[in-house]
Amino acid sequence: MRPTVEEQLLGTCRVLEKVVAPCVSDPYARTILEGLIGNLRMLTSALPAVPGFLNNDNRATAGLLEQLQSVVAPDLAASIALALGRPKPDSANMTALDQRNCELRELFSQALCDAGLTPAMRAVALEHMTARAARAPMRYVPTITPPAKAT
């Protein structure tokens, strides 16, 4: 499909840089605009990786919930069983993948607060969260330059 989402985002960046930016003289507004352009560029490069990330994260989170299910409160264990029993979303449907991810992450956050988790289980959960953060495709790096130090 033309233009692709990536092409549309990059086209928006070009318009902001070539048409809008030259008209923005306020330093604060200019900084905000540059940040928005940077965010659009990040989205452009990250977008293709999102479905794969969500698929992998859903699989990993579901596996962890399956392990935690036996030690959490019965009502939470039932909610986990219900969620894990649902069919997996189509890997091409990013909205369905994201909805599944939100559901699993909510159950995971509830499980983390459960008194039945052992220190070893908490360590596994922390490792899961750390690995997830390292794999996340959408990482915005601010474009704000810190002020120069006075000499």
Give tens-digit pLDDT for 84-96.
Answer: 999 999 999 999 9
Predicted structure pTM score: 0.80
Answer yes or no: are the C-beta atoms of 23 and 69 closer than 8 Å: no
Give tens-digit pLDDT for 35-66.
Answer: 999 999 999 999 999 999 999 999 999 999 99
Query: And the tokens for 121?
Result: 């289980």
Domain segments of the chain as ranges: 5-49, 50-135
CB within 8 Å of 60: residues ≥ 6 apart: 128, 131, 132
